[in-house]
Structure formats: structure tokens, C-alpha cells
Structure 1
Amino acid sequence: MRTVYVNGEYLPETEATVSIFDRGFLMADGVYEVTSVLGGRLIDFDGHLARLERSLSELDMLKPAVFDDLLDIHRELVRVNGITDGLVYLQVTRGSDGDRDFVFPDPETTEPTLVLFTQSKPGLADSPAAKTGIRVIGIDDLRWGRRDIKTVQLLYPSMGKMMAKAAGADDAWMIEDGHVTEGTSNNAYIVKGNRIITRHLSNDILHGITRAAVLRMASEAQMQVEERAFTMEEAKAADEAFVTSASAFVMPVVEIDGATLGDGTPGPVAARLREIYLEESRKAAV
């Protein structure tokens, strides 16, 4: 049985509760972060904490009182749950003042709700999919306009993954105005002529923590990076493609909307970036 963290207490998961009037439950009025754990240590923690602070600010949501203690809380959960490889999920909601209302509760009298739990994922960095690559399909992007805020509004991304599953694929890339925004839970990239192309940062996509690290490492490795929107037709004609996320790291894509990329195996750029990212991230883990 896992130990989880709820509003200042470490509890068995079977004893963890939040109010039925919590705005995260009723309004999806909350934000979250997922931090990977490799070898018992946290990957890119500072980046996740900075993005969490930004998300809270963009929604005029108070920081939890224990915000400055979040590293210690993460580490304690990793320790007590014996996590070697896995994830720590963190969620902050606006809380509740006791009833359902569209109007925000008074921040002077309402504490945000803070929940954290772990997920054990043995061999997280050794995913078989990284060796074979994944297949993606294109779907319309029907989400709200502030995708840069990491909110718990995940119904449509979940539907997108189900659309991919129904089509015999592994994931979906979302398309708006003829261009790819991002994957259902990851940032999307193509490689053409040794140039890495990925959508520029804006309100249209999540500002991925793994994205930032991978692009920095790509530049340090003298790889060319171009941040711009690209179409699905461009993607299907690319030399290779990949996605990045906190839990998948760098994941090669070998098929897009039925079109096979290259020889149908992970390309050298994605493979090298995955190798670099895992090596450097393990060194910097906390």
C-alpha cells in the first residue's frame, strides 16, 4: 500500500480524502506536475517546480503553504514507497469554501488542496517502445486556448489517446489550423535534413520541461534546431520524428497517419538525444 501526501499529512492511500466540493473535482480548477524518478532520484525537479509556480500564477491560485518544502516532500514519498524508477504526481487545486460556485472562493479564507502520490515504474528508462518506435495519428485540437498552463483538464487528451488506440496506433498528434500543436501528453518533433523542427513556444502548447532540456542538449551537441509550426504532410515526409515528455523522455516515432518514416525504425537523431538526455539527467538528478 502506498503512502500519499494530502494537505500536510502522509497517509495510507486508503485513508486519503478530499472534499466533494473541491474545485479540482467540480471544475477541473487545478494544476499538476509529474516528475520522473530514476535510481531513486528526481529528474528535472527545478524545472517542474518553476512551471508549477507559473501555472499557479497564471490562474491567480495561491501557492500551497509548503511550496518551499516540496523537494523534501517528493524525496520522502520516494523513500517511504521504495521508488527506484517511477513517477511522483503532484496536484494543486483552488480548494473549496464549502459549496459549489462558479465564482472563485475567497483566497484569504480558502487554502489550496495539495496532493502527491508515487507510481512505481521499474525499468522506466528501458521502455521497449524506445527501441521499436511508436505510431501516431492526427486528430483535431479541440482543447481550450491556454495549453501553456498545465491544468488537470485532460479529458480531450484522454479521448485522443483512445482515438489512437481505436486506430491501432500508440498516440495522437493534435492539429490546429493545419499545423501540429503537440501530442496528447508530449511535445512533437520532426527531423528533416539533420534539422530538428518543433513548434515554437506560445499559449498553444505546453512549455515542456523535457523539451527545454532536450533542445538545450541538442544545441550543445551542435545539432540544428528550428522552432516553428509544421504540417502533418511535412511530418509524413520527414526523415524521422520523436516526442518528449517527463515520463517517456525522448520517444522515437516511426509512423505518422499510416506513413512509415525512413526504414520504419527509430532514427539516429532521436536515439542519440535519448541517450544524451538520460545520461545528463541522471547526473543532475536530486
Structure 2
Amino acid sequence: MSRVAYVNGTYVPHGQAVVHVEDRGFQFADGVYEVWSVFDGKLADFDGHMTRLARSLTELRIAIPMTRDALTRVLKETVRRNRVRNGIVYLQVTRGTARRDHPFPPEGTPPSVIVTARSMSAVKAEAQADRGVAVITQPDIRWGRCDIKTVGLLPNILAKQAARERGAYEAWFVDDMGLVTEGSSTNAWIVDEHGRLRTRDTQANILRGITRAAILALVEQEKIELDERPFSVDEAKRAREAFFTAAGAFVMPAVSIDGTTIGDGTPGPVTRKLRTLYLDQAKRGAI
């Protein structure tokens, strides 16, 4: 079956889905995006992603393109038309189409809205999680507002490609002080050498991951000791466990960092527990 995309009010064959050449998302990366995991045809962590979408749009002064109910219908219909049972659905909202000029277009210019969905193999994802994956580190060269989920992802792309070329799954960004900020498309965590769960706080303008927030709630529920502060690359390499979180990766164990084996080289008990708990909760709470 051919895929279907939603573009500015119309469902079209994926191969024919286009935006105007002067769409500001294409010309300036002037837009935001969100991605939901899909379990059994339902969207996980729905409210969290919707809330972050509204915040990103507000921070960039892009008009909210439609009501929450209308957008919900579009997301679900795109999932349905693509027959996605398990996978992801992407939403991009740009500032719209206007003559190419750096200042905002005239007031009333409608935002562009694009939604796509695709299936993902749950079997492949579980196999990766059972083995664990490799991570590399890269200098953090991104702009200072990484808390906004914009479509301007060039540094992330370069980091992810560097990881691919070195046989790794993910790249963790490192700031000028040698501290890990986050991954190219994930939030970074370790269980340090003292047994404390560590992740960077969001005051550092890292992305306010929705999966991250769900994990923090589970950590509190399970009474797991948490130290919400930065960790260095050296601390990560000495850690008992390492993992990262994201809508598409859920909770993914990292068993090596820059070639250094983490712990015994297998996914650790805290990581496994949090992945199991998160998947159970996300599936039950999907709408």
C-alpha cells in the first residue's frame, strides 16, 4: 500500500506531497516539529507532545494552525490511512509561504502543516535494546535555544552521520566544559559509578524530552535515587550503565561510548527496568 501524507488541508499520496518553494520551512528552517510513538494504532505520550508543540510555536511566534481537536483528528487520520499499528507519526508546522525575506511574513500568513506516518519494526527495536548500542561523542555546536523543537537540525544531522560512519547508533553532544548535554535526537542518562541515576537538568536549554519527563515520573514512583545534574564524558565512561530516551527509541541501552565499554558491556538492570515500565505505561496511556 502506498503511503499518504497530510499537507495543508489535503491527504495526498506520499510521493506527491509538496510544499511551495518559498515555504519558510524550506527557505529558513523556520518551523517546529513533533513526533509521537504509535502503539497499536494509538499515539503515546499525547498530551506531553501537544503541550511542547504549543510552547515551541509560542516561543517562535508562529500561529497555532488549528484547534487541538482538529489537529488530533489529522494525526489519527494520517496514522489510519497509512495503516500504522506500531511506528511513528511526524508533524511539521512552519511559518508558511511568503516572498523570501528574513523578517516575518505579513500578519495572517497561514502556517504550513505537514503530517507523515510510518511503521517501525518492534522486533528490531527489541533486538537492539537486548544487545545495547554504541554511542560516540561530538562537540555541541548548536544554537542556544535547543529547548525549542525546531526543524533546524543541521548540527544534529552531522552528529548522527558521524555516529553512523563509526558504527554507532547515537552521538552525545559535549559542551565546552566536557559535560554531556544531550544526544543528537535523544536525552542522555547514566547510572554513575556510585549507583545514582544522572541526567542533565533542562535549565541548560536542552530539549525538554517528553519521554524524559515520563521516565522522571517513573523514577520517582519507583524511588530510584536521582541526581539531576550534568555528567562528564569521563564519568559516563566509568558509569555502571548508560542509556538514552526518545519517542522513537523509548529507553535504549548504550553499552559503549567512544569505544569504551560501559559496565560489563550489556544493558544494565536499571535501564531494563525503566524500559519495561515505560513501554507498559506508554501503551496503556496511548490514545
TM-score range, shorter chain: over 0.9
- Residue identity matched to 2:53: L
Quote the residue 1:160 is aligned against: 159
- Name the CA shift for 1:258/1:122 in 2 (closer, same or farther; >3 Å): closer
User: Is the aligned partner of 1:77 residue 2:78?
Assistant: yes
Residues 148 and 202, structure 1, Cα contact 8 Å, conserved in 2: no
Q: How much does 1:100 deviate? A: 0.6
- Residue identity matched to 2:246: S
Q: How much does 1:79 deviate? A: 1.4
Quote the residue 1:104 is aligned against: 104
Q: How much does 1:10 deviate? A: 1.4
Segment drifting more, 20-29 vs 63-72: 63-72
The Cα offsets for residues 65-111 of structure 1, whole Å up to 9 and x where unpaired, read as 344311111111111211110110000000122x1100110232x00
Residues 146 and 203, structure 1, Cα contact 8 Å, conserved in 2: no
Instruction: Provide the TM-score with structure 2 as the length reference.
Output: 0.96
Residues 84 and 122, structure 1, Cα contact 8 Å, conserved in 2: no
Residues 38 and 124, structure 1, Cα contact 8 Å, conserved in 2: no
Segment drifting more, 169-178 vs 244-253: 169-178
The alignment partner of 1:202 has SS state of: helix
- Residue identity matched to 2:132: G
Q: Pairwise CA RMSD of aligned residues?
A: 1.3
Q: How much does 1:203 deviate? A: 5.0
- Name the CA shift for 1:241/1:19 in 2 (closer, same or farther; >3 Å): same
Q: How much does 1:169 deviate? A: 2.2
The alignment partner of 2:202 has SS state of: coil
Instruction: Provide the TM-score with structure 1 as the length reference.
Output: 0.96
Q: Distance in 2 between matches of 1:90 and 1:154?
A: 15
Quote the residue 1:34 is aligned against: 35
The alignment partner of 1:20 has SS state of: coil
Q: Distance in 2 between matches of 1:15 and 1:169?
A: 33
The alignment partner of 1:52 has SS state of: helix
Quote the residue 2:121 is aligned against: 122
- Residue identity matched to 2:33: Y
Quote the residue 2:170 is aligned against: 171
Quote the residue 1:140 is aligned against: 139
The alignment partner of 1:159 has SS state of: helix
Q: Distance in 1 between matches of 2:34 and 2:124?
A: 19
Q: Distance in 2 between matches of 1:27 and 1:203?
A: 25
The Cα offsets for residues 121-165 of structure 1, whole Å up to 9 and x where unpaired, read as 132684311011111111100000000000001111111011112
Q: Distance in 2 between matches of 1:260 and 1:122?
A: 27
Q: Distance in 2 between matches of 1:124 and 1:44?
A: 21
Segment drifting more, 217-226 vs 68-77: 68-77
Residues 191 and 197, structure 1, Cα contact 8 Å, conserved in 2: yes
Quote the residue 1:5 is aligned against: 6
Segment drifting more, 248-257 vs 187-196: 187-196
User: Is the aligned partner of 1:282 residue 2:283?
Assistant: yes
Residues 91 and 115, structure 1, Cα contact 8 Å, conserved in 2: yes
Residues 31 and 91, structure 1, Cα contact 8 Å, conserved in 2: yes
Q: How much does 1:215 deviate? A: 0.9
Task: Give the paired residue count.
Answer: 284
Q: Distance in 1 between matches of 2:272 and 2:139?
A: 29
The alignment partner of 1:160 has SS state of: helix
Identity fraction in percent: 49
The alignment partner of 1:33 has SS state of: strand
Residues 180 and 230, structure 1, Cα contact 8 Å, conserved in 2: yes
Q: Distance in 1 between matches of 2:119 and 2:207?
A: 25
Quote the residue 2:190 is aligned against: 190
The alignment partner of 2:118 has SS state of: strand
- Map 1:33-52 to 2 at 5 A: 33-52=34-53
Q: How much does 1:171 deviate? A: 1.6
Residues 3 and 77, structure 1, Cα contact 8 Å, conserved in 2: yes
